[in-house]
Structure 1
Amino acid sequence: MERALGAPEKMRERYEDLTPMMRQYCDLCGRYDGSLVLFQVGDFYETFCEAAEVSARLLEITLTKREDSTGSYPMAGIPIDSAESYIETLLDAGFRVAVADQVQDPEEASGVVERAVTRIVTPGTLTEDELLRSEDNNYVAALAREEEYGLAFLDVSTGDFVATGSSSEETIRDEISRFAPAEAIVGPGIEGFDGFDSAERSSAGSQTWSGDSDCMVTPYDPAKFEVESARALLDSYFGAPEKRLASDAEIAACGALLAYAEYTRGGQEGHLDYLNHLTRYEPREYMLLDRVALRSLELFEPRAVGGDAGNTLLGVLDETACALGRRKLTDWLRRPLLDPVRIDARLDAVEEWTTLVSAREEVHDLLIDVYDVERLIARVSRGRANARDLRALKDTLDRVPEIREAMADVESDTLCSLREDLDELGEVRDLIDRAIAESPPIEVTEGDVIAPGYDADLDSLRETEREGKAWIDSLERRERERTGIDSLKVGFNQVHGYYIEVTNPNLDQVPENYTRRQTLKNSERFYTPELKEREDEIITAEERADDLEYEIFTDVRSEVAGESERVQAVAETLATLDVLVSLATVAAKYGYARPEIADEPGIEIEGGRHPVVERTQESFVPNGARLAPEERLAVLTGPNMSGKSTYMRQIALITILAQIGSFVPASGARVGIVDRVFTRVGASDDIAGGRSTFMVEMGELATILRGASERSLVLLDEVGRGTSTADGLAIARAITEYVHDEVGALTLFATHHHELTALAADLESAFNLHFAATQAEEGVTFRHDVSRGAATASYGIEVARAAGVPERVVERSRALVAAEEADTESATDGGEPATASGGDGPLAERLRSLDVANMTPIEALTTLDRLKRDLD
């Protein structure tokens, strides 16, 4: 959660008595009261008062004191050279950080050194490589509300900027989950947005996003969300926003987000020149995968805490060569397509790459040398790139002609188009090659950055500097010969400049033209008129050269920044190529097949496999699947550990893969476009939200029943197990009937309620599938292959035994099952089973009297609850 430290109260109370420097610190804290201010004092960033106490504790640094005529103040500081690691800790603790740098040379200051906030570091606006923890997008979001919601996402490090809008709060929440922003700002009228009201607020009015504790959410300046103000700012970047955005709410969100991105630059020039594109999208243009589906299907993160990130769908697909490709692959998985034409275009490209093996491998090897030019050109445009960054950009652009050449034989429309889109940017490459030294230093203000021959004036100054240093290099030999002092040395230091050093025993041989410069314990240091003249020439030439070199470098950097839009276009093309090559590599390596994309709803899979599980097992049993309008609801039964959950998930993952344009782990597949994948496959308590497992389950089911369509794929696993058996059975049946009769979605329903297999006879489009197992004296063998029909047993006790449950518990379980079966047989033969305490008849009789099949879900719940109270 975001936290804030305003101007220290102790300082505010006695502001007029403070020293000029402390007033300066107090002013900055007040101006940036939503941030912890790091205040440069020499080579350190200092904090004072409460901020110092907090910093010392969080950063594990020494808490000291500053004492002056006005009093004593707690103080804690961090070295500027290692500041980024400390800033990262402060971000993790929930702080924004305002970095106040000295913007004036102390030697030129007549009073207190001028300082200004040069950047504000927040979780969603990171641009520093040291703070960006992965190659993935790092989004900051903005949410506005007019007549409907407007939502925008911006990755400040790459320039990716997208927006959407909807009148549906649920749609907006789903899009937030899809993009998983690290930070969000919100405008007026958002207080009633579901998920904000229950979030704990900080002293700055900020809060965490409900259900996503990694997102810092803060109300932002309402004036920035005003539509006219936002419209004017957007117009200065992209032209009239009405041409791109669909509502005032979207304009407000995008404008406020731009203003916030500018604000985090502190005192730097506001306009972000590298933001060249704002793209509006419709959520309905892509398959929707909400937070529940993303987690249960393990697209990006394993469900197990501390699980291997490679055991995810992204992990098994990621054969990308560069950061650009990985981000693009993540985006494709986040937003699978709904347009069969676009899907088939991608599949054509993947198929061609599977056949052009040599060219594919060559392109992959070339892409390995591609730097993260999206982030690189963003740094160039912000004026934060050094000479090595420019060289890295040139190295990347040098690969472009080679990649074009490697693609000479491609024929698919997609690959041909990508080849033509590869702008070689020859003039940019040539400029960097001529202007920037081959191996420049990291610092751009200390020389050796500009290549020889690029600027005649600079070359002349460097030549003067070299000649002077060469003269000095030979001075020691000449003076030794002239004076006869063999121990004479010529040296240099920053304080006294160049000097001639003579030890004390040889001082009587010092020539008359030597002038004393410094006295040491065992020697004296001198200079001569000629040495002083050369020193002045060298220092003057060196200073002028360094200044001119920095000026030339910034001019070159600005000229490169002027081509940022073309560089970003090349980055987009390289990213797409990298993903297509990666998908083809996976397909070829692991035996994936091209899916057929159909217009009509339905999924047919031959020999399907789970793309993640098959990589972790020595062997995997493939299974087919068929869901169609006439058989759209499959009731899946079978023992625990037989593979029901894996089977359901693999069908969903194969569908997702097909719709991103990937080949699929199967011998064949035909996929009708799916608009949304819903999953209800396991739940846990939401303790913080005060919701039980059963309540979480019911909430997810409510979302499915409200949002699913006949084009959706629904996975239901053990619905109703969070409550009593009777209640759970009633709920499971009622929901299944509703999905079949009212929704019409393609549905897989795994259950241990064998009574539900009767649905296949009662519902026109329902059918049974099961995973079989065989039992022998040595135990149960799970076959892991799916067949038509219902399972005959669950083998729960055998599974418990295989898991290591003590034998005494296993035997007692068998005895209890045998007793229950005996009671059932007795009742069937006319016997009378035991009655429940407080009831009015046998339990079996009461249950048989309930016509659950013809009840609504509410009626069933009410009736079963009444029965349970009676029996209790």
Structure 2
Amino acid sequence: MDPALGPPDAMAEKRDELTPMMAQYHDLCARYDDAIVLFQVGDFYETFCGAAERSARILEIALTSREDSTGEYPMAGIPIDSAESYIEDLLEAGYRVAVADQVEEPGETSGVVERAVTRVITPGTLTEDELLASDDNNFVAAVARGSGDADPATTADAELALALLDVSTGDFLATSSDSREAIADEISRFAPAEAVVGPDAPTDLCPDGCMVTPYDERAFDRELAGEKLATYFRNPDALLASDAEIRACGAVLAYAEYVRGGAHEGERGESGSDDADSTDATEPSDDSLEAPADGTHLEYLTHLTRYDPREYLLLDAVALRSLELFDPRGVYGRDDATLVGVLDETASALGGRKLRDWLRRPLLEPARIEARLDAVEELTNAVRTRERLHDLLRNVYDLERLIGRISRERANARDLRSLHETLAVVPEIREQVADADCERLASLHESLDPLADVRELLADAIVDEPPIEITEGGIIAEGYDEDLDRLRATARDGKQWIDDLEARERERTGIDSLKVGHNSVHGYYIEVTNANLEAVPENYQRRQTLKNSERFVTPELKDREDEIVGAQERADDLEYELFCNVRRDIAAEVERVQALADALATLDGLVSLATAAAQYDYCRPAIVARDGSGQASGGDGDRILEIEGGRHPVVERTQESFVPNNARFTDDRRLAVITGPNMSGKSTYMRQVAQIVLLAQVGSFVPAQSARLTPVNRIFTRVGASDDIAGGRSTFMVEMDELATILGEADERSLVLLDEVGRGTSTADGMAIAQAITEHLHDAVGATTLFATHHHPLTELTDALEGAFTLHFEVEQVDGEVVFHHEIVPGAASGSYGVEVATAAGVPEDVVERSRELVAAAEPLESGALEDDSIGSRSAAVSDPTLSPSATADGGDIPTDVAAELRALDLAHLTPVEALTELDRLKQLLEK
């Protein structure tokens, strides 16, 4: 076990001898042995022993020590006021955190202050605003296998289920598949921060960055999982499609309850030490699995959505990364250079999360795409309405997380006012779409429930600017409760009597310097300086002696003090009770608030898409539905992808100028072999085609003059070089793995992007692989394919493949320098201009000149290779090792093996240094 976790060995050996406080710490560490325990001592959270040493290194804080009668223990602490930032660092370092707060007031106990774990914080179950990204979900996942006693070695294709829960918002999703790759793709799509994995389920599905948490296998039991679900949903069997889905959903609920359950609120009336430690950290009790314990039920979790991944455009982890939907690859030099970064004009956190969900799950059904496009078009054209809606939506708070806090009884009075302020703008938001023409906006108008009764309750009950603390009064509005008003009047009258007391006593005693004051220790008092003590009346009773004065109290003042303090305390208690009642009343409307939140999020997402369309001059794409026979309407066969003046949505935002390009694919033109030099724009072009398709299926306008397409079911990418050294995979092996996935899973309705396939091995092998892949994609798969390559012989394949064609990026040489036009045109490129690109990159001139000489010397050989019947032939290998000898410049013969190697060299694809190395090696072969 990590020395930072579990009970410290130095304490365990003498548990019975420890001081009461250190014994508390030891026992909490033993109970929460999967987490670092932050132990409140005064205004700090302290850690001890191994946990202190580890925390000091991670958090870069001072390591000190605590010494008592039982020994000296390393100690490191963080201020409670700034604890969240430190907790975030611990989570990022891969630790869970158990926060142990004082649950008693130090002045109210004669012994050691009781402490209990009030929160267990893990990456996937965060609810703290300070630790959450406001514009994205934070999911915890559960993976379960269909058969509880299945043997993983023999059930590789058995059903797997995935459940995804955002504890902060209540979003709850479930799906299943017989393919582990499909489940891995869904995990990558939603990027959960944490996952619990059931017995016999694979543990290697989660990507880097997702913490895999061990959890009690009993949570995945079919019967217990079903009972857990039944506490939330009336008929879970009708909601879900299989036992595996029930296991996954029940387990993720049990885990969420464990993490959030047994916590003290730190508020009067909601805390107590008896249940704080009722749940074991790694082995939940049977009771915790069979039914939620008090305080753990997630009341705001009201919806479970079961979906089929095939209902959406599929994007695996490779495609998400290559297309830079959410994470930049640094290619464009900006951290915000992502597709979502361009599109996100949302005004609220609700809208930001909705937009990201749309990008993760683009649509397949043309009717749903058209409905969203109708709304975007209407908002794009209605400029004033769109801008007014954007301004109004800025006032919308994060209702999903807000109602979650309210339901968990963690919300304060300011949270309730935030809800009121949101509801206050809903009527005008609703009015803005009252006359909408399209069906989607009209339905949103009906869904925008202003919750007038909730708003009225909040307006009546909560003051406009309440304090953060909810136990010290000042949060309930005047006139809301008669008893509270009477207590407040009593306290006010008493305070007014106190205020008048000073003037009366000065007049009565003749002491002009007499003062009436108050402090928290002695209460109200009358202060008289030592020089005036002889004038003090007989009914003054000495309360406190100071250096230069005495403080007194009178029987009447004591009575008034008791009256004031009693009234104030009763008022504070009553205010807290009334606040809790209001909060519970709001929590009872959770489903209405969530429905409103979803409608506002959808509207914000649509306004964002319309704003981007208007701001960046996007056009509405034409979505072509397939007819009943599977053919696309319009007479172009099964596929249409036509783009006029297409632009890369991210690159055009980061570059001063951008050259638009066209694309046209049909059944008869389904595979494009794209050539051209490096830096000409091949990769950008391919990505922009894919991003335009993706945006169209999101229901967004697209960066083009016009676009017309049939929806694709999946986008595959093999773009860019990367390795997996930790996993034992070279760059070439990673490339081959990705290609295997594409060739095994793509079909005629897929869009495939291939960039420079065949690197990382010999030129002959690379060329052979590239040719075989091209033929297979054309003949067997039939996918719409864009294949960028420097293997120029591939362009000759298009003569033999009826659905293949060539494209290239034009360049020209001006005064020996390459000028890129970034314009794609039909046909094959005349060369790769590798030496010229090396020159532009600043390679030393002597190396460049030597490279030119080598290229010139090799051109006859390379031309011969291109003319050989074996290259470009569908029935032969790319190169033939039995080529005849060639004549040397001095009349001799080049040996057969050397000639073959020369012909196989792709000089345009070699760096100058690699070219020199190859030349030296071949020269040595000739000399032998």
Shorter-chain-normalised TM-score: which range? over 0.9
Aligned to 2:733: 695
Among 218, 221, 239, which residue is 1:226 paired with?
A: 221
CA positional deviation for 1:825? 7.2
- AA aligned opposite 1:170: E
Q: Kindly provide the CA deviation profile for residues 715-735 of structure 1, in whole angstroms up to 9, marking residues without a partner as x.
A: 001101222211111111111
Aligned to 1:537: 563
Aligned to 2:116: 116
- AA aligned opposite 2:352: R
Q: Kindly provide the CA deviation profile for residues 79-118 of structure 1, in whole angstroms up to 9, marking residues without a partner as x.
A: 3222212212221222111112222344444644333222
Aligned to 2:524: 498
Q: Kindly provide the CA deviation profile for residues 768-805 of structure 1, in whole angstroms up to 9, marking residues without a partner as x.
A: 11111111215222111111111112222121212222
- Written as runs of structure 1 = structure 2, the 5 A alignment for 1:427-826 is 427-598=453-624, 599=626, 600=632, 601-777=639-815, 779-823=817-861
- Written as runs of structure 1 = structure 2, the 5 A alignment for 1:35-434 is 35-109=35-109, 111-147=111-147, 148-190=159-201, 192-194=202-204, 209=206, 212-268=207-263, 269-304=295-330, 307-434=333-460
- AA aligned opposite 2:174: A
Distance 1:76 1:194, change over 3 A: closer
Q: Kindly provide the CA deviation profile for residues 700-722 of structure 1, in whole angstroms up to 9, marking residues without a partner as x.
A: 11111111111000000110122
**Distance in structure 2 (CA, Å) of the matches to 1:606 and 1:307:** 28
Give SS of 2:354's match: helix
Distance 1:142 1:177, change over 3 A: same
**Distance in structure 2 (CA, Å) of the matches to 1:422 and 1:157:** 22
Q: Kindly provide the CA deviation profile for residues 221-260 of structure 1, in whole angstroms up to 9, marking residues without a partner as x.
A: 1011111111001011012211111111111111111111
What percent identity do the matched residue pairs reach? 69
- Identify the range of structure 1 (111-120 vs 435-444) with the bigger mean alpha-carbon deviation: 111-120
Kept in 1: contact 2:134–2:349 (CA 8 A): no
Kept in 2: contact 1:833–1:842 (CA 8 A): no
Aligned to 1:864: none
Question: Number of matched residues?
Answer: 837
**Distance in structure 2 (CA, Å) of the matches to 1:510 and 1:70:** 56
Kept in 1: contact 2:731–2:760 (CA 8 A): yes
- AA aligned opposite 1:168: S
Aligned to 1:860: none
Structure 1, gaps ≥5 residues long: 196-208, 851-866
CA positional deviation for 1:41? 3.0
Kept in 1: contact 2:886–2:899 (CA 8 A): no
- Written as runs of structure 1 = structure 2, the 5 A alignment for 1:829-848 is 831-833=886-888, 841-844=896-899
CA positional deviation for 1:302? 1.0
CA positional deviation for 1:481? 1.9
Kept in 2: contact 1:2–1:95 (CA 8 A): no
Kept in 1: contact 2:406–2:587 (CA 8 A): yes
Distance 1:61 1:723, change over 3 A: same
Distance 1:833 1:635, change over 3 A: farther
**Distance in structure 2 (CA, Å) of the matches to 1:728 and 1:225:** 47
Q: Kindly provide the CA deviation profile for residues 787-837 of structure 1, in whole angstroms up to 9, marking residues without a partner as x.
A: 1111112222121212222222221111111111255579999952599xx
TM-score, normalisation: structure 2:
0.87
Give SS of 1:73's match: strand
- AA aligned opposite 2:162: L
Distance 1:456 1:849, change over 3 A: closer
Give SS of 1:490's match: strand
Give SS of 1:320's match: coil
**Distance in structure 1 (CA, Å) of the matches to 2:328 and 2:888:** 47
CA positional deviation for 1:309? 3.6
CA positional deviation for 1:54? 2.4
CA positional deviation for 1:839? 10
**Distance in structure 1 (CA, Å) of the matches to 2:301 and 2:432:** 31
Aligned to 1:201: none
Give SS of 1:325's match: helix
**Distance in structure 2 (CA, Å) of the matches to 1:678 and 1:550:** 57
Aligned to 1:203: none
Distance 1:713 1:130, change over 3 A: same
CA positional deviation for 1:133? 3.7
Kept in 2: contact 1:169–1:194 (CA 8 A): no
Kept in 1: contact 2:862–2:903 (CA 8 A): no
Distance 1:4 1:263, change over 3 A: farther
Q: Kindly provide the CA deviation profile for residues 54-83 of structure 1, in whole angstroms up to 9, marking residues without a partner as x.
A: 233333334344344443333333332222
Aligned to 2:150: none
Distance 1:695 1:826, change over 3 A: closer
Kept in 1: contact 2:888–2:894 (CA 8 A): no
CA positional deviation for 1:696? 0.9
Kept in 2: contact 1:4–1:34 (CA 8 A): no
Aligned to 1:24: 24
C-alpha RMSD of matched pairs (Å): 2.5
**Distance in structure 1 (CA, Å) of the matches to 2:3 and 2:204:** 22
Give SS of 1:214's match: coil
CA positional deviation for 1:42? 3.3
Q: Kindly provide the CA deviation profile for residues 615-638 of structure 1, in whole angstroms up to 9, marking residues without a partner as x.
A: 122222111111111110000011
Give SS of 1:165's match: strand
**Distance in structure 2 (CA, Å) of the matches to 1:395 and 1:3:** 48
- AA aligned opposite 1:186: V
Kept in 1: contact 2:642–2:663 (CA 8 A): yes
- AA aligned opposite 2:784: L
- AA aligned opposite 2:512: D
Distance 1:849 1:98, change over 3 A: closer
Structure 2, gaps ≥5 residues long: 148-158, 264-294, 627-631, 633-638, 868-883, 906-921
CA positional deviation for 1:305? 8.0
Kept in 2: contact 1:635–1:756 (CA 8 A): yes
Give SS of 2:260's match: coil
Matched, 1:10 2:18: no
- Identify the range of structure 1 (342-351 vs 108-117) with the bigger mean alpha-carbon deviation: 108-117
Aligned to 2:151: none
Give SS of 1:66's match: strand
Kept in 2: contact 1:634–1:766 (CA 8 A): yes
TM-score, normalisation: structure 1:
0.92
**Distance in structure 1 (CA, Å) of the matches to 2:591 and 2:452:** 15
Kept in 2: contact 1:169–1:193 (CA 8 A): no
- AA aligned opposite 2:778: H
- Identify the range of structure 1 (460-469 vs 13-22) with the bigger mean alpha-carbon deviation: 13-22
Kept in 2: contact 1:768–1:790 (CA 8 A): yes
Kept in 2: contact 1:300–1:309 (CA 8 A): no
**Distance in structure 2 (CA, Å) of the matches to 1:824 and 1:704:** 32
